[in-house]
Structure 1
Amino acid sequence: MDVDPGSTVPRRQLGRYLRQQRERANVTVKAASGHLECSTQKLWRIEKGTVPVRGTDVRELCRLYGTPPDLAEVLVSLARQTKEKGWWAAHGDAVPEWFDLFLGLESAASRIRTYEPCLVPGLLQAHAYMACVIAADRPHLTEEEVRRRIEIRRQRQGLLSRHFPLPPRFDAIVSEAVLLSRPETPGALQQQLWHLVKANEIPHVSVRVLPLSGWPHRASVSGAFTILDFPSSAGGTGAEPPTVYSESLTGSLYLDRPKELDVYEQAWSALVNRALTEGDSDHMITRILEQQGGGTHV
C-alpha cells in the first residue's frame, strides 16, 4: 500500500519559510496581512501551515519581503503542493479538522515514537480492540459511523506495510496496565495481545512494555505522546523539524520548539531506560495471554 501524505508538510514548510522571510524583512503581521488584504488571523494560519495558499499570494508576500527570485520560485512551487489532498480527505467529516494535520505528519514521518499509558497505539490496534476503543471514545456514534472510523484507522495502519515511500521506523512503549485492561468484547484482549507479539516480528517495528514497577518516571505526568521525525525534502527545502503530538478529548497539541522537544526527548529517554527489551516484552505479553486463557498459538 502506498500512502499519500497530502499537503501537510508542504504547507508547514511554506508557512515556516514565509514567516522567516517576513521577520528578516522586519515586516509586521498586520502590515503583511494588509498587503494581502486579508485578516491577521488568515496570515497566522498561513504561517502555521494550517491552510492551503495561492501562488499569487505567495508572490505578493515575496515581493513585499524582498525575497530573492530563486527562493521565491521555490515557495511558489510549494504553494501549488499545498492544495494536494491526502487519502483521508475522502472520509469527510469522519476525520476531525484537528486530526487532519496529524494524519499528514504521520504519513510523512520517517520515524514515529509513541508512548501510551492507557491504550494500545492506534497503528497497532487489532480489529475488535479498535472497535471497542472507538465506541467508548464516541458513544453517540451509530454503527455505520463506528465502521467508517475503523476503516480510517485500518488505512492508517497501512503506513507500516507500505512499499513506497519506505515505511517509517515505529517505536512504541506501552504501559503494562494496557495489557491488563480487558475490553468488554469477549476475546478482544487476547486478539490484541497476539497482534502485539506479531508486530514485534516486523523489522521496522518495536513494541516494548513499561512494567508497573518502572513507576514513577520522567513521563509520569505527560500522558500519551508521539514524537515524529521527518526525512530531508527531495525538493531541497530541508527537513521538517521534529514534532510532538498529544491528544485530548477536545483537540490536540503540536509542539516543535527546541526547548519543548528537548523536554519530550528526555521523557522518551527515561521511558526507554525503564522499558523491558523487546524479547522480555514478548515474554510478558505471552504470559499475560496465557493467564487470560488465550493459549500459546496464533
Structure 2
Amino acid sequence: MSETGSTVPRRQLGRHLRDLRLQAGMTMPEAARLIERGTTTLQRLETGQTNKIRLLDIRELCSVYDANEVVTAGLMGLAQEASGKCWWHDFGKLIPADFDVYVGLEASARRLTSYAPDVVLGLLQAPDYTRAMVRSALPGASSQEVDRRVDVKQRRQRALTRKRQPVELNAVFLEGALRRVVGSTRIMSAQLRHLADMSTLPNVTLRVLPNSAGIPLGDPIGLFTVIDFGMDKKGEPIEPSVVYLENLTGCLYLESQDDVRHYHDAHGAVQRAALDETTSRSLLRQLAREYAR
C-alpha cells in the first residue's frame, strides 16, 4: 500500500484485529507465533502503521481468532482498500454491506462534529425511529434482521453515555429533518423527546437550524461528521482527524487537513445561524407535543 494512501482502512483493520485478539484472550506474541510472524509485524498491523499487508496474514489471524465469514471478508477488504489520499468505500464491494466500517471510528473518537439536514443521526435515534428507517430501506427484511440492525444502533449510543471518556457530540439539525415524519407521528414525538433528553447530557450539544435561517453557506450541504480522536500527552493528535460523508452507494472518508478544516468551518457557519442550545431544546419539546396531539 502506498504511503500516500488513505490511513483509514489500515487503522480500522488494526482496531478490528486488536479487538479480535483480545476477545480470543491472546497476547500479541502468542498470536504472532501462531501465524509464524514476528511480534513487531503484528504490532504494526494493529496500530495501522504498516504499508505492506499480506492478505495471507489477515486470513490466518481471522482463523486463529475464530472470526465469522462477514468479519473475515470485511478485514480482507480493508487490507486491500487504501489507494488514495481519500477513501471511497463502496457498499458491498470488497467489504460486505453488513460489515460497518464507520462504527469503529465512531467508537474510538473523542469528539464528533455533525450536521444532519435530512435525518436524525444514528447516535441519537430512538429504537422505533431506527426500526421505521430500516423497514423503509429494506422492505423485505425479516423481523429478526430488523431487530438486529436496531440493536446495533442502540449499542452504538453507549459511546455517548459510558462513564469513561464518553464521546463529545456537537450536532446541528436542520429543522426540516425534525418535521419530516418517519414511521408515524407517535414515533416522531418519542424521537424528539429523546433528542431533548439527550441534549441535557454534558457531553452532547444539539442545535436546530431553523428553516427561517435560509442557507448559511450559500450552497446546500449534505450530512457530514468530522471525527476527532483527541490529543496525547505531548499535545499531538492521537490519530489524524477524518471527515465522514455518507451517500446512497458508499461512504467517503477525507483525511486532508484542508478538508477537515473546511468542514469544521462549515459546521461553525451553520452553528452560528442555528438556535442556541436552550431554545433548540424548547423547540424539540414543542414539536414533540405537537406530534403527540
> What TM-score, normalized to structure 2?
0.69
Q: Of 66, 70, 77, which residue of structure 1 is paired with 2:43?
A: 77
Is 1:110 equivalent to 2:106 in the alignment?
no
Give distance in 2, aligned partners of 1:141 and 1:286.
33
Q: Match for residue 82 of structure 2?
A: none
Q: Match for residue 200 of structure 1?
A: 199
Cα distance change on mapping 1:90 and 1:180 into 2, 3 Å:
farther
Q: Match for residue 126 of structure 2?
A: 126
Please report how far the alpha carbon of residue 78 of structure 1 lies from its aligned counterpart in structure 2 after TM superposition. 3.0
Give distance in 1, aligned partners of 2:206 and 2:46.
38
- Post-superposition Cα deviations, 1:219-253, rounded to whole Å, max 9, x if no partner, equal 84320000110123589995211110011111100
Q: Is contact 2:112-2:225 (8 Å) kept?
A: yes
Q: Is contact 1:112-1:168 (8 Å) kept?
A: yes
Q: Is contact 2:185-2:291 (8 Å) kept?
A: no
Give the superposed CA RMSD. Answer: 3.4
**Bigger-Rg structure (1/2):** 1
Q: Match for residue 252 of structure 1?
A: 251
Q: Secondary structure at the match of 1:266?
A: helix
Give distance in 2, aligned partners of 1:224 and 1:47.
19
Please report how far the alpha carbon of residue 75 of structure 1 lies from its aligned counterpart in structure 2 after TM superposition. 7.1
> What TM-score, normalized to structure 1?
0.68
Deviates more, 1:261-270 or 1:146-155: 261-270
Give the unaligned 5+ runs of structure 1: 1-14, 21-43, 56-71
Q: Match for residue 3 of structure 2?
A: 19
Give distance in 2, aligned partners of 1:130 and 1:76.
38
Give the unaligned 5+ runs of structure 2: 18-27, 29-37, 49-57, 75-90
Give the percent of matched residue pairs that are identical in Structure 1 and Structure 2.
28
Cα distance change on mapping 1:45 and 1:209 into 2, 3 Å:
closer
Q: Secondary structure at the match of 1:239?
A: coil
Cα distance change on mapping 1:146 and 1:74 into 2, 3 Å:
same
- Post-superposition Cα deviations, 1:96-135, rounded to whole Å, max 9, x if no partner, equal 6476331111111100011110111111111111111122
Q: Secondary structure at the match of 2:172?
A: strand
Q: Match for residue 80 of structure 2?
A: none
Q: Is contact 2:123-2:156 (8 Å) kept?
A: yes
Q: Match for residue 184 of structure 2?
A: 185
Cα distance change on mapping 1:91 and 1:134 into 2, 3 Å:
farther
Give distance in 1, aligned partners of 2:44 and 2:224.
29
- Post-superposition Cα deviations, 1:241-272, rounded to whole Å, max 9, x if no partner, equal 11100111111000010221222122111111
Please report how far the alpha carbon of residue 140 of structure 1 lies from its aligned counterpart in structure 2 after TM superposition. 3.0
Please report how far the alpha carbon of residue 81 of structure 1 lies from its aligned counterpart in structure 2 after TM superposition. 5.2
Q: Is contact 1:219-1:268 (8 Å) kept?
A: no
Please report how far the alpha carbon of residue 137 of structure 1 lies from its aligned counterpart in structure 2 after TM superposition. 2.2
1:92-103 paired onto structure 2 within 5 Å: 92=70, 97=95, 100-103=100-103
